[in-house]
Structure 1
């Protein structure tokens, strides 16, 4: 997502970070390597294994989602290896902890490329961190498939022909949630995490509100990792909104919704979130999240209407004894689509992988997907979910109702011209 002055836990520019990381690893990043024209692809021999680098924040406040992504990515690799790999070559998943830090992510990504000879990079679970990973991969001419929400990574200043975005983006997510909940004249207040994720979700909701005719009555920013919202809830209530949109992620989401519930906010207004997180829902009592509406890339009950979701669920349950989560599914679709492209490319030569990804039409977990030509954004369905209360749940896994499923369409994306691409 967009580079902002405040973001967790970053204090240096990406260019400064990358220059330092390159020096520490003895890797040259020439003066032109960080510009829009990427360095020539690094030659990688057709060795005995196909290596996919996978940097994610295994420590920190997003660790639960990251660990689910690893499990789903490992499942994708297992399914390919169980059928003999790709052209007889086994696949390896090289998991690294980026610690939710751009400098750490840059270091790990450079190591994966230069020392581990990764053929492609998939991963990152932070708006700003994924941009640091992307800076490294595009400079080194390596395919990167991002699995974290971002609008910025698709814009021309951060895009490269090696950059693919498997995740939903804030524009898609907020527009879908707004269409399900906002009406003309609806009064909307915002509680927003003061870093890239929150800023882009807020921008998306405001844009949707303007199109629908809803009224924005105010917004309050909070620092990343805020444990106590007690001073903010009365201020939000005083705005007298019909809808409170809480734009934060991970533990921040669970804490904010719990405290809104403690203040009786749900009795006075509808609470919506851009992304309704599976792991944060199960981290607290069901009634805390009851009635909250939000977007999602995946929910296991898609299996009722989408055959590939049932296949994915069954494979995941056979491997782990449980059902996959929303952000976990990104690990599967991101790695599986990358491996499909490598298979289609007939090997690990970077330009052929890029061409294969650009042409790929895939349905591996949630229905049809493909990467849009101009910005390599994955065109896919967007789910809108409502969290169930305890009395509604038929089983421990019965967490949400699917309120709406917006089918895949380029019409839900910002135009290529708006992103800065020539028309």
Structure 2
């Protein structure tokens, strides 16, 4: 038994498995992801007993401040000075796209959980990162198609002015037009923004059936609050939050958020396994988890299980093992990793319940529709990923 343990450890770099958690800890994405993401990762590490293949699992964390320069600098330091094996979190798409380039150059693995841009596994795909939770293709496909098919065909787009907002703007436009709708106007706002008055007045004046909020975190919250002040939804226009988190709904309150429909990768009331894990998370942190917290746990656990199975932490060997193993846990059932690095799983169109419908403070959502995995994400025959085009898996 001792010999087997020693042999396995010999395949682990530095006799430790080193993970870096890079996220926005203080800015727009603090609440839905932020510091509590570290707890989700630690839960996965603890569920593996704190060590894998005879090697201790070590976790580092850092605030990227939503800056590509800061984020890539941290990743560079982690690689050069701490010899990390894997980086996860990766929240703002601009930070993520800068970071995954370094990970590919140095043959380290990236598990992208926070970033939403579908470009992460499309034009910016690599054999060194996996996109776990959601992306702009899936979020727009679920929400925009449902709203447009109900006869709301004229759309106005309000987008965060950076790579994530641009990707969501592109994907929402595609879905709306494919379903017979049209874009009647658009504008972009700085990231992050606190004052949405002028942007919402422009959107209101457009006369569009739907105002799409192609942003996230505090930007989405501020935009929805401003819309409420101007009576936009009361006057009949639909507000479509393209990326919403349970923390956003709590911040807004169900009185304001009721009736909002959006697409999510996970919610705590999904099934018994999800509820049990969410309760564990709440007991630990005092807060209910978001879809990204669930994804951080799921992806880290799958990563560590892959290392345990092969006794090796080399990036390509681990990625191959992860791709060969279905994801069946509290986050996904029958999930799988494609050659472009996209983890494919069911998505869910939900609606925020009214305060009267909710049985308790955690009863936020009504499931409208389960979007099957093969429908939820961009088909490979529409991919620009060079790994797919070249057949390199």
Relative to the length of structure 1, the TM-score reads: 0.83
Measured in 2, the distance between the counterparts of 1:323 and 1:45 equals 34
Measured in 2, the distance between the counterparts of 1:209 and 1:398 equals 30
Instruction: Spell out, residue by residue over 1:287-331, the C-alpha distance to the aligned partner (whole angstroms, 9 max, x if none).
Output: 22222211211110102xxx4323422432343344322222222
User: 1:377-416 residue pairs with structure 2 within 5 A?
Assistant: 377-409=342-374, 412-416=377-381
Measured in 2, the distance between the counterparts of 1:351 and 1:242 equals 48
Q: Deviation at 1:45?
A: 4.6
Measured in 2, the distance between the counterparts of 1:313 and 1:62 equals 20
Query: How many pairs were matched up?
Result: 375
Alignment partner for residue 43 of structure 2, among 63, 75, 84? 75
Measured in 2, the distance between the counterparts of 1:149 and 1:243 equals 21
Q: Deviation at 1:218?
A: 1.4
Q: Does the CA contact (< 8 Å) of 1:44 and 1:119 recur in 2?
A: no
RMSD: 2.1
Alignment partner for residue 86 of structure 1, among 27, 52, 62? 52
Alignment partner for residue 249 of structure 1, among 216, 235, 252? 216
Alignment partner for residue 309 of structure 2, among 344, 347, 362? 344
Q: Does the CA contact (< 8 Å) of 2:216 and 2:244 recur in 1?
A: no
Match of 2:178 in 1: 211
* Stretch deviating more after TM superposition (409-418 or 368-377): 409-418
Change (3 A) 1:418 1:71: same
Alignment partner for residue 186 of structure 1, among 145, 149, 153? 153
Unaligned runs of 5+ in 2: 1-9
Match of 2:4 in 1: none
Unaligned runs of 5+ in 1: 1-42
Instruction: Spell out, residue by residue over 1:243-294, the C-alpha distance to the aligned partner (whole angstroms, 9 max, x if none).
Output: 2211111111000000101111112122111112222221233322222211
Measured in 2, the distance between the counterparts of 1:411 and 1:386 equals 18
Measured in 2, the distance between the counterparts of 1:130 and 1:340 equals 24
User: 1:198-347 residue pairs with structure 2 within 5 A?
Assistant: 198-267=165-234, 268-303=236-271, 307-347=272-312
Q: Does the CA contact (< 8 Å) of 1:316 and 1:324 recur in 2?
A: yes
Change (3 A) 1:411 1:61: closer
SS of the aligned residue for 1:301 comes to coil
Match of 2:24 in 1: 57
Measured in 1, the distance between the counterparts of 2:221 and 2:44 equals 29
Relative to the length of structure 2, the TM-score reads: 0.89
Q: Deviation at 1:46?
A: 4.3
Measured in 1, the distance between the counterparts of 2:117 and 2:66 equals 15
Measured in 1, the distance between the counterparts of 2:276 and 2:24 equals 28
Q: Is 2:95 the counterpart of 1:129?
A: yes
SS of the aligned residue for 2:223 comes to helix
Q: Does the CA contact (< 8 Å) of 1:258 and 1:289 recur in 2?
A: no
User: 1:79-118 residue pairs with structure 2 within 5 A?
Assistant: 79-81=47-49, 85-118=51-84
Q: Is 2:367 the counterpart of 1:367?
A: no
Instruction: Spell out, residue by residue over 1:90-147, the C-alpha distance to the aligned partner (whole angstroms, 9 max, x if none).
Output: 3222112212111111121122222212121112111110011101100101111111
